């Protein structure tokens, strides 16, 4: 697979023993090769997240707002606590963002039905429109990359990403990512 300066540099063997249980083909990955993967991930994610920035800036919002809009759209009716758990930020930090979104009429916050202490969050039509505009360049980027790389590559891409998740939250993430239940938009 790889050689050249890379292989010359890390004559050190890959530390991943584990035997060839999963596949007959072994992966010999030097630390340097793993660093290259980390770097690739860094650049890809940087480019990916850079897409919506101009739109956000034009409205005086930031990435934190985009994240909130994204997850509220994906889980309409989510509570503040639920959003806190997903985003892993403090309630003070989230509240600052949420307040702006509500004030600008992008997010609707309604009293919980069973528990009136809670707030159920959902996007207003304007919020939906903005979220769509923000995420469209990202979807276009993924669509294009997927088309160029092909179905097997896409399957591998998703498999590796899933395995990279923290074990603790993996089930939660995968159930969310994998739930076709929210196709009802």
Partner DNA sequence: TGTAATCCGTCAACAAGGCTGACATAAATC
Partner DNA sequence: GATTTATGTCAGCCTTGTTGACGGATTACA
Does 166 engage in binding with a second copy (CB under 8 A)? yes
Min dist CB 83 to DNA, Å, is: 8
Name which position in 12, 58, 113, 117 contacts a second copy (CB under 8 A): 12
Q: How far is CA 110 from the centre of its chain?
A: 26
- Joined together, the tokens standing for residue 114 give 């069973």
Q: List the x/- string, 121-160, binding to a second copy by CB under 8 A.
A: --------------x--xx-xxxxxxxxxxxxxxxxxxxx
Q: How far is CA 44 from the centre of its chain?
A: 12
**Burial (Cβ within 10 Å: 0-12, 13-18, ≥19) of residue 134:** buried
What residues form DSSP beta bridges with 122?
108
Min dist CB 50 to DNA, Å, is: 11
Does 53 engage in binding with a second copy (CB under 8 A)? no
4: left (phi over 0), alpha (psi -120 to 50) or beta: left
Q: Which does 119 bind (CB under 5 to 8 A by kind): a second copy, DNA, none?
A: DNA
20, 26 contact by CB (below 8 A): yes
Does 81 engage in binding with DNA (CB under 7 A)? yes
Name which position in 13, 59, 91, 96 contacts a second copy (CB under 8 A): 13
Site for a second copy in 82-121 (CB under 8 A): 88
Site for DNA in 34-63 (CB under 7 A): 60-63
Name which position in 70, 78, 120, 130 contacts a second copy (CB under 8 A): 70
- Joined together, the tokens standing for residue 125 give 């039509």
Q: Which residues, 6 or more positions from 48, have their beta carbon under 8 angstroms from its beta carbon? A: 138, 141
Q: Which does 98 bind (CB under 5 to 8 A by kind): DNA, a second copy, none?
A: DNA
Name which position in 69, 101, 119, 131 contacts DNA (CB under 7 A): 119
Rounded-to-integer distance, Cα 67 and Cα 86, Å: 10
């Amino acid at each position: 697979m790889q050689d050249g300066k890379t292989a010359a540099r890390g004559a050190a063997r890959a530390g991943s023993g584990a035997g060839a249980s999963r596949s007959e083909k072994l992966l010999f990955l030097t630390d340097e090769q793993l660093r290259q993967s980390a770097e690739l991930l860094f650049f890809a994610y940087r480019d990916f997240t850079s897409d919506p920035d101009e739109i956000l800036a034009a409205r005086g919002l930031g990435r934190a707002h985009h994240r909130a809009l994204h997850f509220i759209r994906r889980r309409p009716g989510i509570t503040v606590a639920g959003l806190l758990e997903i985003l892993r930020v403090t309630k003070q930090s989230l509240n600052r963002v949420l307040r702006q979104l509500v004030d600008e009429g992008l997010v609707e916050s309604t009293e919980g039905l069973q528990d009136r202490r809670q707030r159920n969050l959902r996007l207003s039509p304007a919020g939906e429109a903005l979220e769509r505009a923000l995420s469209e360049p990202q979807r276009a980027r993924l669509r294009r990359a997927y088309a160029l790389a092909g179905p097997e590559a896409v399957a591998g891409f998703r498999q590796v990403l899933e395995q990279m998740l923290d074990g603790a939250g993996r089930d939660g993430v995968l159930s969310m990512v994998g739930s076709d239940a929210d196709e009802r938009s």
